[in-house]
């Protein structure tokens, strides 16, 4: 099934990481400048057909209405999902403690894209999403992620519980992010190998997933708001874990 992605950065990252998955590219002649020329050069390198519009209206097929394409659309033969083993290989080869993010039925592509971008920014080793009842990696997700969807392994699995068991057996600790927790993210020992789970925008993490967590943590609130957007919460949690691992200064004795 051919999937469109759009936006200059998204298409450029796809060309850098997964050029073999791109079948063709459409470009609006009015946007021929800057990074778009890099897209043309890379497409030529990998013998990817490019169609440059000559009409006043840029209208490549299968694009949702009212999206901002920035004049660049690419079509993938399929999105290159990874396996759990590939995620494991990433932190094993790097000789780093695992940092993985699991999305339990998160439905909004804006949230999924934002989570991918911040996960890439902190150097997380992989993302796990469910095959059913959750947002897949769509063109909107790729655009919001600014191409990070191609920089980090994303596994789409039938059963999240089995994925949890896979990493638990590899000494990875499971952390559920929920505003009902007593422990805050600041109390979490971030230097452990971790799999961080975030839940659905309305329902949160399902009870059957929560019961498999070693830790439940929350983002502390001092103001009047009761909870954060899930992408904001994941970003805060990931950066606190990263701070503990790489940027914490030891107190002088």
Q: Is the pLDDT of residue 244 over 70?
A: yes
pLDDT band at 249 (very low <50, low <70, confident <90, very high): low
Section 139-160 average pLDDT: 95
pLDDT in the model for residue 247:
84
pLDDT at residue 154 tops 60: yes
Q: Which CATH architecture has domain 84-247?
A: 3-Layer(aba) Sandwich (3.40)
pLDDT at residue 215, as a whole number: 97
Mean pLDDT of 205-231: 92
For residue 176, what are its two tokens? 């559920």
Predicted pLDDT of residue 59: 86
SS3 94: coil
**pLDDT of 227 above 80:** no
User: First CA to last CA across the chain, in angstroms?
Assistant: 61
pLDDT at 253 over 50: no
Tokens 């897209």, residue located: 39
Would you say 164 and 102 are in contact if contact means Cβ atoms under 8 Å apart?
yes
Name the percent of the chain lying above pLDDT 90. Answer: 81
Which stretch of 58-62, 73-77, 126-130 has the lowest confidence by average pLDDT? 58-62
Average pLDDT over residues 6-17: 94
Contacts of 197 (CB under 8 A, 6+ apart): 101, 102, 103, 104, 174, 175, 176, 177, 205, 209, 213
In this model, does residue 248 exceed pLDDT 90?
Answer: no
- The 10s digit of each residue's pLDDT in 71-99 is 999 999 989 999 999 999 999 999 999 99
Domain ranges of the chain: 3-76, 84-247
List of long-range contacts for 199-206, beta carbons under 8 Å, 24+ apart = 199/104, 199/105, 199/106, 199/230, 200/104, 200/105, 200/106, 200/107, 201/106, 201/107, 201/108, 201/111, 201/229, 201/230, 203/105, 204/178, 204/179, 204/180, 205/104, 205/176, 205/177, 205/178, 206/104, 206/105
Which pLDDT score is estimated for 127? 98
Q: What is the DSSP string of 138-198?
A: -HHHHHHTTTGGGTS-EEEES-HHHHHHHHHTTTPEEEEE-TT-SEEGGGS-TTS-EEEEE
* Exposure class string for 62-93: b at 16+ Cβ within 10 A, else e: ebeeeeebbbbbbbbeebbbbebeebbebbee
SS in 3 state form for 41-90? HHHHHCCCCEEECCCCCCCCCCCCCCCCCCCEEEEECCCCCECHHHHHHH
- Burial classification of residue 174, based on how many CB atoms lie within 10 Å of its CB (0-12 exposed, 13-18 middle, 19 or more buried): buried
Between 220 and 252, name the one with better pLDDT.
220
Q: Given pLDDT bands bounded at 50, 70 and 90, which one contains residue 167?
A: very high
CATH class of 3-76: alpha beta
């Amino acid at each position: 099934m051919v999937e469109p992605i759009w936006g200059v950065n998204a298409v450029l990252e796809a060309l850098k990481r997964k050029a073999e998955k791109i079948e063709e590219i459409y470009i609006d002649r009015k946007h021929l400048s800057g990074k778009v020329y890099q897209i043309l050069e890379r497409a030529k390198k990998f013998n990817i057909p490019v169609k440059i519009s000559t009409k006043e209206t840029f209208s490549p097929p299968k694009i949702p209405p009212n999206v901002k394409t920035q004049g660049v659309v690419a079509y993938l033969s399929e999105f290159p999902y990874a396996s759990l083993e590939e995620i494991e290989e990433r932190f094993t080869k790097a000789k780093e403690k695992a940092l993985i993010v699991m999305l339990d039925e998160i439905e909004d592509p804006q949230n999924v894209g934002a989570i991918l971008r911040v996960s890439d920014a902190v150097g997380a080793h992989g993302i796990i999403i469910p095959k059913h009842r959750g947002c897949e990696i769509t063109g909107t997700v790729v655009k919001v992620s600014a191409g990070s969807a191609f920089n980090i392994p994303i596994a789409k699995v039938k059963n999240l519980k089995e994925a949890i068991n896979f990493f638990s057996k590899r000494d990875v600790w499971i952390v559920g992010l929920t505003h009902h927790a007593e422990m805050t993210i600041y109390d979490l020992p971030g230097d452990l190998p971790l799999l961080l789970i975030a839940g659905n925008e309305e329902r949160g993490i399902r009870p059957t997933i929560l019961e498999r967590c070693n830790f439940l943590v929350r983002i502390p609130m001092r103001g009047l708001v009761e909870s954060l957007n899930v992408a904001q919460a994941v970003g805060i949690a990931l950066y606190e874990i990263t701070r503990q691992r790489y940027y914490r200064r030891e107190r002088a004795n």
